[in-house]
Each structure stands twice: as C-alpha cells, then as structure tokens.
Amino acid sequence: MSMRPSLWPEDIAVTDAIAPATILKEQASLLGQRTQNLVEARVSSERSFLVDFPFCYNFALVAPALDNYRYDLFKIRHGLDFYPVQIDFEDSGYPRVVGSEEQLMQQLKVIFTSDRTKGIISSLIAQSKV
C-alpha cells in the first residue's frame, strides 16, 4: 500500500517570530547574572480564563537563600498571535495592552526599572545576606 503524498507546505515550521514568554525567560536569566543569583526570576505558565488572551505567564522574583521565597511581579497574557499582549503589574497604570515586541520590551524596561521592582529586589538581596 503506497503512502499518499504530504499536502503540508515545506515552510510550515519556519518562523522568525519570538514568543513573549521567550523574551520573559531571557530577561529572567539576566536578572540572576545581575544579582549573583541572590535574586532570580522564574517564568511559569498559568491558566487564563480570558477568551481573548488564553496564554498566561507569570514573572516571579525568587530568593533561593530565603527558602525560595517567591514574589509574583507581573503577568502577561496573549492570544495565539502573540500580540497584542496584556501586562498586569501592581502599578496603578496597569493593566496595559501592547501591540508589538518593541512595545513589550519598552514596558518590561519600565517595570524592571520601577522604584517598586528595585525596592523588592534590594530587600530580597539584603535579607539573603543575613
């Protein structure tokens, strides 16, 4: 019995797209380097109940020396097409919706450089050195 030919295109798996979760994981690994691993970041997927944003990822700060104390810093949600991305951060100006990778990077920089984030990381570092 002969096999029927594939009807799938050759380029079906070729993509230059970078998933928002990949960007979060890259940034998470950079935090550990910046803090000598006193504070790390972890990205985990969560269930989303929003129809328009079925993919949800949590970005948490973790202090290994403090019995892996975890602080959930923010969440992102997106659909199958990656963008728009909804960002939920405890700052009063959120949630925000961004429409591109460039806008996501800009918002992540705002979150990472905020006084709130820097204060949390400083506190975790100080307590980790006790």
Q: How confident is the model at residue 74 (pLDDT cuts 50, 70, 90)?
A: very high
How does pLDDT run across 90-123, given as a tens digit for each residue? 877 788 999 999 999 999 999 999 999 999 999 9
pLDDT of residue 1: 65
CA 50 to CA 124: how far, in whole Å?
32
How does pLDDT run across 17-52, given as a tens digit for each residue? 899 999 999 999 999 999 999 999 999 999 888 788
The beta strand positions in the chain, using DSSP E, are 40-47, 55-63, 69-78, 85-89, 96-98
pLDDT of residue 14: 74
pLDDT of residue 48: 82
CA angle 102–106–108, rounded 5-degree value: 115
The residues near 59 (Cβ < 8 Å, ≥ 6 apart) are 24, 28, 41, 42, 43, 72, 73, 74, 75, 76
Contact 45, 57 (CB under 8 A): yes
pLDDT of residue 108: 97
